[in-house]
Amino acid sequence: MVLRIEDTDRERSTPQNVEQILDAMRWLELDWDEGPIMQTERSARHSQALQALLDGGHAYRSSATAQDVKAYKQRHGDEQGFRGKPEREGAVRLRVPAEGATVMDDLIRGPTTFEHMHMDDPVIARADGSVLYNFAVAIDDMDSAITHVVRGEDHVSNTPKQLLVLEAARSVGLMDGQMPRYAHLPLLHGPDGKKLSKRHGAASVQELRDAGYLPDAVRNYLALLGWGAGDDQTVLSTEELVERFTLERISRNPARFDEVKLGWLDGVYIRHLAPEELARRLEAFWGRPGLERAARISQEKIHTLKDFWALAGPLLDGPIADPVARERWLGEEGRRTLAEVRSCLADAPEFAEPDIERALSALVERLGVKPREVYQPLRVAITGGTVSPGIFESVALLGRQETLARVDRALAGG
């Protein structure tokens, strides 16, 4: 895999933006064999190819401005592509043939015809000689013998310009291989069917990482957007995706990025991790050591690494303040039940999960109440809220001394 950074856009190609690309690739564990190759580092080759097109009459210099192009169309009609006159100085424009058409045989969308008479002679280099994207990328694809160009459908309008650059390069002897095949992927939409943006939630790889998703799950989910394996299988390893992927199974319709579905898939991946591996990832994400026991009892209930602290954090850092939970479960009747719970736990001969389950289950039976009438007051007492890992596991994690201390504080109104 060759990683090429197309950085001819001077305003957008900042070191920060380039690092964001590399950071996303590294986090997704998409490794590359060669590169990163900066497109601007090949400026000498681009200048050589540009001069060859100028010398061969396939390009010319022009000082025409956007206003000049507008005036040209007013004289010749809006449907007529701009044709400039060669000048001694100015930007470089590619000469589009006066007749005929360029046909892009897209592997997803099918053939699309671009009539030459409707195409402007595109600018391919600035007046200072620095080339623009459509020229640089075509020359780089040619030199790298790229066979397939797979990209977003927002690049469809660029493709005929790049094909014309390659045809011109062939005419002056720069190219003797086959033209690349093109496949334009539908763009991502949000669940509402509109173009994906920040209002739909995470809109970049870094935001997904910071939201606690696993790179394995994100790779899996992104691969399934607009593509199907031909069956109902959703959870696919990277090796399986590589083996089963074909361009023919890509949909022409926009795929919908649904963070709820991604969350479900991430939860599947989390539950498939060994508890020790989940703990390692949680410790790296939260910057806290010693999370293995808490990770083990939380694994079935979380969908992302970020979910963990809301669930298990109160066990580790102390109860949260939730007045609604306290009012609902630690009123007069709730405190009476909690006092029974305290005696039950204080008298338990052992304090492992099975022992705690037996003791509390016996209490539920003796009191003749529903389990939640016993478990929820205890949960609010030890965590402050109504959500936690399993109550037996939570109590065992805290241990007898800390559990009874928290219960005592709750009984005292603390």
Q: What is the mean pLDDT of the chain?
A: 94
Write the CA distances from 199 to 20, 190, 191, 194, 196, integer angstroms. Answer: 21, 9, 11, 10, 8
Mean pLDDT of 35-61: 96
pLDDT digits (tens, 9 = 90+) for 222-235: 999 989 877 878 99
CATH superfamily, region 2-185: HUPs (3.40.50.620)
Bond prior to 323 in cis (omega within 30° of 0): no
Global confidence as pTM: 0.87
Tokens of 313: 């954090």
pLDDT digits (tens, 9 = 90+) for 117-130: 999 999 999 999 99
Q: Where exactly are the structural domains of the chain? A: 2-185, 198-272, 318-411
| CB count in 10 Å sphere of residue 7 | 21
Mean pLDDT of 326-335: 96
pLDDT digits (tens, 9 = 90+) for 131-183: 999 999 999 999 999 999 999 999 999 999 999 999 999 999 999 999 999 99
Residue 200 is predicted with a pLDDT of 59
How far apart CA 394 and CA 330 sit, in angstroms, is 19
Angle between helices 371-383 and 353-367 (to 10 degrees): 130
Same fold, 2-185 and 198-272: no
Give the SS3 label for residue 314: helix
Q: Which of 21-25, 190-194, 210-214, 377-381 has the lowest mean pLDDT?
A: 190-194
How far apart CA 63 and CA 305 sit, in angstroms, is 56
Is the pLDDT assigned to residue 413 strictly greater than 90?
no
How far apart CA 393 and CA 353 sit, in angstroms, is 6
Mean pLDDT of 283-311: 98
CATH superfamily, region 198-272: Glutamyl-trna Synthetase; Domain 2 (1.10.1160.10)
Residue 393 is predicted with a pLDDT of 98
Is the pLDDT assigned to residue 202 strictly greater than 60?
no
Domain 318-411 carries which CATH code? 1.10.10.350
Q: Which of 27-41, 80-94, 302-316, 373-387 has the lowest mean pLDDT?
A: 27-41
